[in-house]
Amino acid sequence: MDNIRMWIIGILSYLFYNRERSFSHHFNYLIFILIILIKRFIYLKSLTLYSFHLLKIYHRKELPFMTQSAKNSNFHHTDKKDMEDLEKRKTIESFTLMDDIFMRLVFEEKSCTEYVLQVLMNKKSLKVKKQYVQKDLPNLYGHSLLLDCFCEDDQGNLYNIEIQNSSHDAGPKRARYHAGLLDIHYLGKGEDFTHLPESYIIFITDKDIFKAKKQLYHIERKIEEIGADFQDGSHILYFNTDCKQDNTLGNLAKDFHRENPEEMQSKILSKRVALLKSRRLDKKGEQKMNLVLEQYRQKAFREGIEEGMEKGMEKGVESGKQRMALLMGILAEKGRVEDIKKAAGDKLYLESLLSEFGL
């Protein structure tokens, strides 16, 4: 009876302090409470994990990572591990080359980088001499950069390849900054400016940010009065993967969005993606994939917070509501009624509770 009383008090307290919220918000919360009750009294141990999918914790994808509260629950060890393995496999299979974190892992294989550059530069003879994934370009006097992929070909030309899923992040001034910082780091102190190599900043975008329905956009400086190229050796390219025509560029665009490696046109990319998604990874490969999964989870969580707190976008706000629903359900289950009351009027205390349960 005491447990039932605490549940009732918790639910009523939550509804009272959130009485101005929408019906859908309360509906999601009550569904979550119902699932906990079923789990608690009928012992269907796996339902709580599926409830996280129901509530759509992460705003971009319904990622199947468990929160700390779920890890602390009394699941049978075998059931829990089987569920984690299943969800981990499901997430890995959903990765595409448009997921920048996964793309970096794919591009650790130099032949993959080389193939993409050969297609984009329309130069089959292009050979990558050296490359760096997640190349750090520090700037003591301003904004530093962490490049997705930086490489140099056998002719000394430099390339910076970036995956951009946001039109805002792929703007012209970002491209300008990448080009400028690349020059600063390449040219040594006292060297003549003529030693600067040709550089190519390549943004691979999921949308057509220039809205001209072109597959590839080339940006060059011009001398307006005579209409000639400025020839400063700095080049910017935008590869629009939203334009999937039946040609070499279009096939590459399709490959960047395909989850199943068997459906990819490029054998080079397909082989690498298939290996990373297979169960045949060695210990080092498994560790790398686990790191990708953790980075992806953190990125999705961070972006959800940014949307809710900074932009106030609809999805971010909904994510914040769902976090609150999860927290109130956990507190009610643990009988922490006073914490529910205190969190309603104390923002700092609320944040500490969210942190405590990994929400």
User: Quick one: 69 and 114 in the same domain?
Assistant: no
Whether residue 6 lies inside any domain: the answer is yes
How many domains is the chain partitioned into structurally?
A: 2
Average of per-residue pLDDT values in the chain: 78
Residue 45 has pLDDT above 50, yes or no: no
Q: What are the residues facing 131 on neighbouring strands?
A: 151
**SS3 label, residue 158:** strand
Q: Are residues 213 and 346 in the same domain?
A: no
Give the highest mean pLDDT range of 70-84, 176-190, 199-213, 276-290.
Answer: 199-213
Give a yes or no: residue 277 inside a domain: no
Residues 6 or more apart whose CB falls under 8 angstroms from that of 276 comprise 92, 102, 105, 106, 285, 289
- Percent pLDDT > 70 in the chain is 66
d(CA 33, CA 29): 6
Q: Rounded to the nearest 5 degrees, what angle is found at the Cα of 66, between the Cα atoms of 314 and 148?
A: 70
Task: Write down the pLDDT at residue 10.
Answer: 61
Give the whole-angstrom CA distance, residue 277 versus residue 107: 14
How many whole angstroms separate alpha carbon 276 and alpha carbon 258?
Answer: 14
Q: Can you give the C-alpha Rg of the chain in angstroms?
A: 25
Same domain, 125 and 209: yes
pLDDT recorded at residue 351: 83
**Sheet bearing 128-137, strands edge to edge:** 128-137, 145-153, 158-164, 199-205, 234-240, 216-219
Does 250 fall in a domain? yes
Query: Domain range spanning residue 29?
Result: 2-95+297-356
Provide the pLDDT for residue 53. Answer: 40
**Shared domain check, 342 and 216:** no
CATH of the domain at 247: 3.40.1350
60 domain-assigned: yes
Q: Which residue has the higher pLDDT, 276 or 345?
A: 276
Res. 19 pLDDT band, cuts 50 70 90: low
Of the segments 8-17, 28-37, 275-284, 311-320, which one has the largest average pLDDT value?
Answer: 275-284
Residues 175 and 37 in one domain: no
The answer to whether residue 281 sits within a structural domain is no
| 77-89 mean pLDDT | 66
Query: Quick one: pLDDT at residue 54?
Result: 39
48 or 180: whose pLDDT is higher?
180
Does residue 131 have a pLDDT over 70?
yes
Beta carbons within 8 Å of 31's beta carbon, 6+ residues apart: 51, 54, 55
Strands (E), 206-337: 216-219, 222-223, 228-229, 234-240
Least-confidence region, from 99-113, 205-219, 311-325: 311-325
Is the same domain home to 106 and 73? no
Distance, in Å, from the CA atom of 185 to the CA atom of 182, rounded to the nearest integer, reads 5
Has residue 8 got a pLDDT over 60?
yes
- Say if CB 87 and CB 297 are below 8 A apart: no
Q: Is 288 inside any structural domain?
A: no
Residues 151 and 220 in one domain: yes
